[in-house]
Chain A
Amino acid sequence: MTATSLETEARSSGMRRFVRRVLFSEYLVLWLSVLYFLAVLPFVPQMASVEVLRNILSDMLPLLVVAIGQTFVLIVAGIDLSVTSIIAMASVVGASVMTGDGGYLAGSPLAVPAAMLAMVTVGLAIGAFNGFCITRLGMPPFIVTLTTMMFFSGAAIWFTTFHTTTSSIANLPHGFVVLGQGNIGGVPNSLWVVLAVGILAHIVLARTVLGRRLYACGQNRRAAAVSGVPVRKVIAAAFLISGACAAVASILYTGRLQTGTPILGQTILLDIIGAVVIGGTSLFGGKGKVVWTVFGVLFLVLIDTSLKMLGLSLFSVFAIKGAVILLAAVIDAVRTRFAARI
C-alpha cells in the first residue's frame, strides 16, 4: 500500500467518523441549522447582518415559549392543540383589561400588572380544564384540546365584539408597550423573560422530582402508577404548564403588536408542534429536552426568515418550507435506522 492511499484511507475514515459524530449528536438540528444558514447565505447575503440576526432572535422568543410548554405535554405522550386559542384568548382578555378605550382598569396604575395576571390566569384556566378532562374523565388529549381550541378560538372573537367595533383591541397603555420594547442591561426584556422560562423549564425537567415523573409517565404510564407516581397529577401539571407558557407567549406577541387580537397565533399550531418534534422530542412520549426545542425553533425560524427575505410567492414559500422540514425528518429517520443497527 502506498503512502498516499494510506493517507486517503485515514482521511476517509476521519470523514466517516465526523459524519457519524454529527449524525448521532443530539445537536444534529443545530448543525442542520448552521448548514442551512450557510446554504442560503449566497442567495440572501443580508441574512448575516446584525439586524436580521436580531430579528431571528426576537421572532424565536414567543414561539419558543409556547414550544417549551408543548414539550412538557409531548413528554407525557400528550398533545396540546389548544395553545393557539390560549394565545388568542389571553391576548384579547389582557387587552380588554388595560386598553385605554374602555378597558376594565383603563388609566389605573394597576392596569398593566392586572392585565398580565389575567392573561396568565386564562392560560392556567384553559390548561387546567384540559388536564381535568384528560385525567379525570379519561378523554384523549387530542379530542379535548381540539375542542378547547375550537371553542376558545371562537370565544376570543366573540369576546372582542364586546370591547370594540373593529376586529382588535388597540390603545394599550404606554407602560405595557414599553415593557415589551425596553431592555435591562442591553438585553431586551422579552429575552429576559424567555431565558427565565427556558432555564426554569430545563431545571424542572432535568433536576426535579416532577421532571423525572413527567418522563416516567410518558415512558410507561402503568409502570409509573405501580411505582407510586401520581400519574394524574403529573399529566395535569404538564397541561397546566403548557397553558401558562402559551399565556406568556401571548404577552410577548401582544406586546410586539401593541394590539389584543383574537386571530393572534391562529395559524402557528403546526409551527409549534413541528418545531418541538424537529428538535427531537418524541410524539410518543418519554423523550424530550428544552435545548432540543430551542434548536427546533431556531431551525424553523431560520427557514421562515430566509423565505421572507427572498420575497417569494406564498406557494413557493410553503413548498420550500415543507421540503426542508421533510429533508430534516428524512435525516432523522435515517439516523434512527442506523442507531437501531448498531
Chain B
Amino acid sequence: MKLTRRQFTLATLMAAGTAGLPVYVKAQGKKTIAVLFDGLYSPFWVAGLDVIKQDLTKRGYEMVQAISDKDDNRQFEQVRAMLARKVDGIIIVQTDSNAVIPAIKAANDARVPMVHFNRPPAKTDAFSVAVVADNRSITNATVEHMVKVAKEKGGKYKAAILIGNLGDPNAIGRRDGFFDVVDKNKDIIDVVARIPTEWNADVAFAGLTNAFQANPDINFLFTSSDFLFPQIVQVLKTRNKFQPIGHKDHIIFGGFDGDAMAYELLKDKYLDADGVQDLFKEAELAVNAIVDLQEGKTVERVLLDPGFAIHQANLEQARDRMWGYSIYKQKNG
C-alpha cells in the first residue's frame, strides 16, 4: 500500500493526538535505580519492596520497578529493558539462581551495578553483589532458644519442621540451621516430620495435617517461613494444640522472617522464638553497595545480614529492629 505524504502526516498527527499532552520528562541529574522482584507473594516481599523504596526516596533516587511473576525469561527481558533505559543500578530478586546469570552478564557489559536482594545467584564468573541474610546462624540462634525452653520445661520432644523450596538457597540455610541444633540435642529431641512445602501454603497445610495424623504428639515445631503461620495456626486449632506458653498442651513453636503475624504471636505468647531478617539493614546494604559500585569502590560479593533471633525474653528491646513490628504499628495506629 502506498502512502501519500498527506496521509503520513495525518497518521502521525493522529498518533501524537492519542499520545496526549503529558510528556514524560526524565528528571535531570536524578539517578534511577531499577528494582526487579520475582513476586509479591508474602508480607516479607511486600515490606521489602516498600523499605527499599523508602530508602531510595530518602537518598533522592528515583525508582522504577518490574515484577517477573515467576517467569525467568520475562525477568531477563526486564533486565535488558532497564539496561536500555540506562538505569544507574539494579536491585534484583531473581526468579532462578541459574537463569539470572545471563542477566548479570548483560549488566556487566552495560557497566550497570547489580545487587541481589535476599537471594544469591548460583556460582558464576560474572560480577554482582548479593545481600543475604545469614539464614543458618539466625536459625541456629532461634532454634537454640527453643531448645533452651524445652530443657527448662523438661521431658522428651517430637519435632516437626516445615521446609521451603530447595531451589532457594535460603530454604536450605534454614533447614541446615535447624538440624545443626537439634542434632546436638538428640537425647531430648526426635525429629519425626520433615514437611516439604515448595513455598506453597496449601502444600504446607496438607503436609502438616498429615504429619499430625501420623504423630499426634508432635510438640516442637519450626517453620522455615512466617508466611505459613495462618495455615499452621489453623491445623493446631483443629487439634486443640494452639495454646499459649504455660498451657500443658503448648507446642514449642518457632519461625523465621519476622513478619507482623510473628510479632502478634510473640506478643500473645503463642510463639516462643522467631528468626528475624533485618530488612532495614538489608535494604541499606543493597543501596550502599550500588552507590559504592558506582563510585568505583570495591565491594564484597556477599554482604551478610547477621539478623537476630527474637523471643519472649528480648521482645521489648529487639522489636524496633523487627520489620513486622513496624507493619504492626502502622496497622494498629
Contacts and interface: CB of A to CB of B under 8 A. Distances in A.
State yes or no: do A and B touch (Cβ within 8 Å).
yes
Interface stretch (A33-41, A113-121, A211-219, A240-248): A33-41
A184 B202 CA distance: 50
Q: Most chain-B Cβ atoms within 10 A of its Cβ — which of A25, A31, A257? A: A257
B264 interface: no
Contact of B85 (A59, A166, A256, A311): A311
A87 B155 CA distance: 54
A265 interface: yes
Given A35-B14, A35-B18, A55 B23 contact: no
A21 B76 CA distance: 39
Interface stretch (A43-51, A197-205, A274-282, A330-338): A43-51
A256 B99 CA distance: 9
A309 interface: yes
Interface stretch (B66-74, B237-245, B252-260, B304-312): B66-74
Interface in B28-50: 34, 40
A74 interface: no
Interface residues of B, number: 48
A111 interface: no
A168 B96 contact: yes
Interface in A63-101: none
A308 B166 contact: no
A309 B81 contact: yes
A21 B66 CA distance: 39
Contacts of A148: none
Contacts of B70: 263, 266-267
Contacts, number: 140
Given A259-B99, A263-B96, A314-B69, A166 B167 contact: yes
B166 A261 contact: no
Given A35-B11, A46-B86, A314-B40, A257 B73 contact: yes
B78 interface: yes
A253 interface: yes
B77 interface: yes
A42 B18 CA distance: 11
A25 B3 CA distance: 13
Interface string B49-85: 0000000000000011111011111101110111111
A267 B77 CA distance: 14
A62 B74 CA distance: 12
A311 B73 contact: no
Nearest to B69: A267
B230 interface: no
A170 interface: yes
Given A257-B102, A261-B96, A167 B84 contact: no
Contacts of B98: 166, 168-170, 257-259, 261
Contact of B66 (A35, A38, A258, A308): A308
Contact of B16 (A38, A264, A308): A38
A311 B19 contact: no
Contact of B73 (A14, A40, A265, A314): A265
Contacts of B97: 166-168
Nearest to A15: B10
A262 B99 CA distance: 11
Q: Which 8 pairs from chain A and chain B are nearest by CB?
A: A167-B167, A311-B64, A170-B98, A38-B15, A308-B81, A259-B99, A259-B98, A43-B24
A215 to B, nearest CB: 25
B12 interface: yes
Given A170-B101, A259-B99, 10 more contacts: A31-B11, A35-B18, A39-B18, A43-B23, A51-B83, A59-B77, A256-B73, A261-B96, A309-B84, A311-B65
Contacts of B317: none
B108 interface: no
Contact of B65 (A169, A170, A313): A313
A256 B76 contact: yes
Contact of B19 (A41, A258, A261, A264): A41
Nearest to B81: A308
Contact of B84 (A31, A55, A168, A256): A55
Contacts of B34: 311
A310 interface: yes
A251 B67 CA distance: 24
Contacts of A167: 96-97, 165-168
A55 B80 contact: yes
B1 interface: yes
Contacts of A169: 98
A63 to B, nearest CB: 9
B312 to A, nearest CB: 36
Nearest to B18: A39
A42 B24 contact: yes
A268 B71 contact: yes
5 contacts: A168-B96, A169-B98, A309-B81, A317-B66, A317-B67
A52 interface: yes
Contact of B7 (A18, A268, A305, A311): A18
A165 interface: yes
B214 interface: no
Contact of B71 (A18, A31, A45, A266): A266
B203 interface: no
Interface in B246-279: none
Q: Most chain-B Cβ atoms within 10 A of its Cβ — which of A27, A256, A259, A310? A: A259
A55 to B, nearest CB: 5
A68 to B, nearest CB: 18
Nearest to B73: A253
B1 A27 contact: yes
Contacts of B67: 313-314, 317
B99 A261 contact: yes
Interface string A166-194: 11111000000000000000000000000
